[in-house]
């Protein structure tokens, strides 16, 4: 055995151990032990693998390409480097016949893997390792393995936008290497995210002095400009510069030459009302004929934060100071609308601002503590989004068996509304909002109502009513009413209601006049 090149079997075993332990501290220790053993050349592979991701990112392999089961090898022989080489070649396959070729290559790889290795590879390729440890736990393990402070490692990962880069530097040069990771124009950082609050009053109550900003329903964008060079990144740091020439032009129109801005990109119609999320997303997703797409659905950037300007890193400044810089750099129409409130006794203006924002066709508001720094890569408690919630009483038509910790439970519900002729029309599915107790209860109840058992679940007599919360209505080509619910989740089972009392498609459409099938 070559001890200088790690075997995949070792990773597969550690992954299994990590999955089998619930204590996060123990998971961390297991990962740290493995990282300590890894040779420098293996690190760029071992680290992402144990964080449950491929260093190549997604490589066009899903359940179809994984296809049929392959007989496993009896003895482990694959090294992590060999696996990485094979997957790099696989990722490069394209053109006619590529699906067959990818299937062949995956089969070959699986045939060289033992049963345990197959299980691990399957998780990696589908992006579902389910070992209870992803980037954050891996970063903690890396800190433990190298003796670096975990907060420093976390910060470096946010600024590098990549665990792998930080791992390589750390294992090569030790903790002092972390100082090299600074906010740099042209290198995207993980964006700060928001928590939810159920009302403006709740959000302001938690945050005190706060800015209330409109929440636009588009695509998050991070804009880097260095002189004549502009680059645009999504929330997951994908480079989408080539798709949005208008945004590049907007960045070039600003007075400063070096900055990083955070904002939302979306499309407005001729009257200045925001177009639907679906239209904006379609535009941002278009890559082949950008010129035509830009003519039919032009987009605009609307900024709400600035992370860096003229080489000054603003991340640790309070929002109030960052916003002062933003206001200096970015003219009014290219900035998110906002209002300031002084605390819990002052929610009136915030409520009015929310109502006005909704009237103008936007999604809701984000309430932000004005003292808070920019917590890159974190779901900071200092940003709280508030969106209106709609509810409906719908009838369960069928339910699908869950996976993972929901194995053996009827989890994903098919939801129906009443139509004019008395029939039930499916509007979508949901698995969200269920506690373990609700899951157990509905599994038993739906078992009683079961009509037919399929591999995926059961169809049931349409008698169970559920109260569903959702964020809005959107067009659908999949469902018969031509519309579906956005972000549907279960609030409670309504045994007190009969299916005849459920809501109708007609009423649903009437409640959302802006959306037509």
Partner DNA sequence: TTCCGACAGTGGGGTCGCAAT
Partner DNA sequence: ATTGCGACCCCACTATCGGAA
Q: Which of residues 8-47 bind DNA (CB under 7 A)?
A: 22-26
Question: Among 4, 255, 359, 477, which residue sits at the site for DNA (rule: CB under 7 A)?
Answer: 477
Q: Which is nearer to DNA, 133 or 309 (CB)?
A: 133
Measured CA to CA, the distance from residue 429 to residue 265 in angstroms comes to 29
Q: Could you tell me which of 496, 480, 474 has the C-alpha nearest to residue 421? A: 480
Measured CA to CA, the distance from residue 59 to residue 85 in angstroms comes to 13
Q: Which span sits near DNA by CB under 7 A: 73-81, 171-179, 326-334, 381-389?
A: 381-389
Least distance between DNA and beta carbon 234 (Å) = 4
Name residues contacting DNA, limited to 385-444 (CB under 7 A): 385, 387, 389, 400, 402-406, 411-412, 428-437
CA distances from 164 to 89, 161, 236, 378, 497 (A): 20, 9, 15, 18, 53
Measured CA to CA, the distance from residue 153 to residue 139 in angstroms comes to 7
Least distance between DNA and beta carbon 368 (Å) = 14
Beta-strand ranges (E) seen in 345-502 are: 364-369, 379-386, 390-401, 410-418, 424-430, 450-453, 457-460, 465-470, 472-475, 483-486, 489-493
Binding residue per annotation — 220? yes
How many residues of this chain interact with DNA, rule: CB under 7 A? 92
Binding residue per annotation — 379? yes
269 near DNA, judged by CB under 7 A: no
Least distance between DNA and beta carbon 407 (Å) = 7
484 near DNA, judged by CB under 7 A: yes
Measured CA to CA, the distance from residue 434 to residue 249 in angstroms comes to 46
Question: Among 154, 164, 368, 445, which residue sits at the site for DNA (rule: CB under 7 A)?
Answer: 154
Q: How distant is the alpha carbon of residue 277 from its chain centre?
A: 16
459 near DNA, judged by CB under 7 A: no
Active site residue 215: yes
192 near DNA, judged by CB under 7 A: no
Name residues contacting DNA, limited to 278-307 (CB under 7 A): 278, 281-282, 284-289
Binding residue per annotation — 337? no
Place of tokens 């179809």: 64
Measured CA to CA, the distance from residue 365 to residue 353 in angstroms comes to 8
Residues 6+ apart with CB under 8 A from 378: 158, 192, 193
Least distance between DNA and beta carbon 403 (Å) = 3
Strands 379-386, 193-196: pairing kind: parallel
Q: Which is nearer to DNA, 1 or 291 (CB)?
A: 291
Binding residue per annotation — 264? yes
Q: Which is nearer to DNA, 60 or 349 (CB)?
A: 60
Measured CA to CA, the distance from residue 261 to residue 275 in angstroms comes to 23
Least distance between DNA and beta carbon 305 (Å) = 14
Computed over its alpha carbons, how large is the radius of gyration of the chain?
A: 26
Least distance between DNA and beta carbon 227 (Å) = 25
Binding residue per annotation — 235? yes
Question: Among 70, 122, 134, 344, which residue sits at the site for DNA (rule: CB under 7 A)?
Answer: 134
Q: 399 burial class (0-12, 13-18, 19+ CB within 10 angstroms)?
A: buried
Catalytic residue among 64, 206, 215, 429: 215
380 near DNA, judged by CB under 7 A: yes
Q: Which span sits near DNA by CB under 7 A: 298-306, 336-344, 347-355, 376-384?
A: 376-384
Token code pair at residue 150: 């975990």
Question: Among 168, 351, 393, 471, which residue sits at the site for DNA (rule: CB under 7 A)?
Answer: 471
240 near DNA, judged by CB under 7 A: yes
Q: Is 403 helix (H, G, I), strand (E, B) or coil?
A: coil
Give me the 207-236 binding string for DNA, x by CB under 7 A, dash otherwise. ------------xx-------------xxx
What backbone phi and psi angles, to 5 degrees, belong to 418?
-80, 140
Binding residue per annotation — 304? yes
Catalytic site residues? 215
Q: What residues form the annotated binding site?
A: 213, 220, 235, 264, 304, 379, 385
């Amino acid at each position: 055995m070559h001890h200088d090149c790690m075997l995949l079997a070792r990773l597969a075993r550690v992954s299994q151990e990590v999955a089998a332990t619930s204590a996060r501290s123990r998971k961390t220790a297991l990962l740290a032990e493995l990282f300590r053993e890894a040779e420098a050349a293996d690190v760029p592979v071992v680290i992402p693998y144990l964080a449950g991701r491929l260093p190549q990112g997604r490589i066009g392999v899903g359940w179809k390409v994984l296809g049929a089961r392959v007989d496993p090898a009896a003895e482990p022989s694959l090294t992590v480097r060999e696996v990485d080489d094979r997957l790099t070649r696989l990722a490069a396959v394209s053109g006619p016949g590529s699906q067959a070729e990818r299937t062949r290559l995956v089969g070959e790889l699986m045939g060289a893997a033992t049963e345990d290795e197959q299980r691990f590879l399957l998780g990696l390729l589908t992006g579902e390792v389910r070992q209870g440890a992803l980037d954050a736990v891996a970063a903690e393990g890396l800190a433990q393995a190298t003796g670096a402070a975990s907060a420093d490692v976390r910060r470096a990962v946010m600024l590098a936008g990549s665990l792998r880069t930080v791992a390589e530097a750390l294992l090569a040069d030790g903790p002092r290497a972390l100082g090299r990771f600074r906010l740099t124009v042209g290198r995207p950082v993980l964006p700060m995210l928001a928590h939810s609050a159920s009302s403006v009053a709740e959000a302001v109550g938690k945050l005190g002095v706060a800015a209330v900003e409109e929440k636009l329903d588009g695509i998050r964008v991070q804009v880097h400009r260095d002189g004549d060079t502009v680059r645009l990144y999504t929330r997951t740091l994908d480079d989408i510069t080539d798709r949005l020439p208008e945004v590049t032009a907007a960045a070039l129109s600003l007075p400063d030459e070096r900055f990083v801005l955070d904002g939302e990109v979306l499309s407005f119609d001729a009257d200045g009302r925001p177009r639907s999320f679906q239209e904006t997303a379609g535009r941002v997703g278009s890559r082949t004929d950008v010129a035509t797409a830009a003519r039919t659905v032009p987009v605009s950037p609307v900024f709400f934060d600035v992370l860096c300007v003229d080489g000054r890193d603003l991340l640790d400044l309070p929002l109030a100071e960052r916003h002062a810089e933003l206001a200096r750099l970015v003219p009014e129409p290219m900035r998110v609308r906002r209002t300031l409130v002084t605390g819990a006794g002052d929610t009136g203006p915030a409520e009015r601002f929310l109502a006005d924002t909704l009237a103008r066709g936007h999604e809701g508001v984000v309430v932000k503590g004005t003292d808070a720094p920019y917590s890159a890569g974190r779901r900071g408690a200092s940003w709280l989004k508030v969106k209106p919630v709609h509810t409906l009483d719908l009838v369960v038509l069928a339910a699908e068996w869950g996976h993972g910790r929901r194995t053996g439970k009827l989890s994903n519900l098919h939801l129906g509304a009443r139509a004019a002729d008395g029939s039930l029309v499916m509007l979508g599915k949901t698995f969200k909002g269920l506690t373990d107790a609700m899951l157990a209860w509905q599994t038993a109840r739906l078992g009683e109502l079961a009509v037919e058992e399929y591999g995926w679940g059961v169809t049931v007599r349409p008698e169970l009513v559920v109260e569903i919360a959702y964020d809005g209505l959107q067009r659908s080509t999949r469902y018969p009413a031509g519309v579906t619910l956005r972000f549907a989740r279960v609030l409670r089972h309504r045994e007190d209601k009969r299916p005849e009392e459920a809501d109708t498609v007609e009423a649903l459409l009437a409640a959302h006049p802006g959306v037509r099938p």
